[in-house]
Amino acid sequence: MAQGEEKWLKSHLMDLARQAETYSIPMYSDFLDTAQQELLYDLEKHVSVRVEYNGGYEGAERRMASFCPPFFYEEQTTFPICCLEIRPRGAQFVRKPPQHRDYLGSILGCGIDRRKTGDILVREEGALIFVCEEMAVFLMENLREVGHVPVDVQRYDGSLEDVIPHGKELVISVASLRLDAVLSRGFGMGRGDAADLIRAGRVQIDHHLCGKTDQVVGEEALLTVRGKGRLKLKGMTGTSKSGRIQVRAERFG
C-alpha cells in the first residue's frame, strides 16, 4: 500500500468511527483487502466504537468493516452487501469458461471501483460476486459480457451455506502447534520455507498479521498465506504414540 493511500485510508476509517460515535448510528467502510484490514486492526485501540467485519459469507477475504456504538448488539448490524449471480448464456456452447480475472476485469470495465466489490467465487455454472448494495442494480443493468461471453446478472437467492468454498480435507501431524510447523505440514513445504514466509509478513492468523515463527495457533485458527492460500484448522483428533498432535484441517488454494 502506497504511503499516500495508507494515510488517506487511516483518516477515512477514523472519520467513520467518529461519525458512528457522534451520531450513534452504524457506519460502514467499503470492502477492505487483507492489508487494509490489518491497518484497521491497529487503529481499533484508538476508537471507542465497536468494529466488526463481514464479507458476505464465512471465510471471505475481502471484507467490509462496521463501526457501531457500544449499545448496538452485533445482530443489529446489517452490512450493505449484496450477492449477485453471474451466469453465462448458452453455457453449453462456451468453449473456455470465464475465469476470475475475466469476471473482475469486466466488472471494473463497467466503471465500478474495486473498493465496491468483495470476493468473486467462480463456479462451474458461472460466478457469485459480493458487492456494495448501492452497486447491485447498476451491475445488473450494465454487465452484459464477461470475456466476450454474454451473461445474465441477478441477485443470488440461494443459501449462503452453499456459497462457502470447500477445500481439501487433510489431517496433519505436528510436534506442536507452532505456526511454522503447522504451515509446513499444511502446505507441504519445508519448515525453513514456512519461517521465511512468516518473517516476510505474508502470514495471517485469523486475519491478523503474525511475524513470529513460534507463535502457537489455536485448534480452529484460520491461517492465510499470501500467494499460497488458506488453511482452516478444525480441531485435534488425538495424539500419536510418539506424542505428535493430529489436527484436522481444510486447505484452500
Helix, coil or strand: residue 153:
strand
Averaged pLDDT of the chain: 90
pLDDT, tens digit, for every residue of 48-62? 999 999 999 887 889
Q: What pLDDT, on a 0 to 100 scale, did the predictor assign at position 92?
A: 61
Q: Are residues 181 and 108 in the same domain?
A: no
- The domain boundary residue, chosen from 19, 53, 76: 76
Q: Which residue has the cell 484452500?
A: 252
Specify the pTM: 0.76
Cα(25)–Cα(138) distance, integer angstroms: 27
C-alpha pair distances (Å), 189 with each of 122, 177, 186, 197, 222? 27, 16, 8, 11, 18
Q: Are residues 157 and 172 in the same domain?
A: no
Give mean pLDDT, residues 75-92.
85
Spatial contact of 100 and 147, defined as CB atoms under 8 Å apart: no
- Domain residues for the domain of 56 are 3-76
- The domain boundary residue, chosen from 100, 132, 162: 162
Q: Are residues 156 and 184 in the same domain?
A: no
Spatial contact of 116 and 31, defined as CB atoms under 8 Å apart: yes
Q: Are residues 150 and 172 in the same domain?
A: no
**Percent of the chain clearing pLDDT 90 (strictly above):** 63
pLDDT level of residue 116 (50, 70, 90 thresholds): very high
Structural domain count, the chain: 3
Cα(6)–Cα(14) distance, integer angstroms: 12
Q: Is the pLDDT of residue 159 over 90?
A: no
Angle formed by the axes of helices 179-187 and 191-199, nearest 10°: 120
User: What DSSP state is assigned to residue 79?
Assistant: -
Residue 209: CATH number of its domain: 3.10.290.10
Select the more confidently predicted residue: 199 or 158: 199
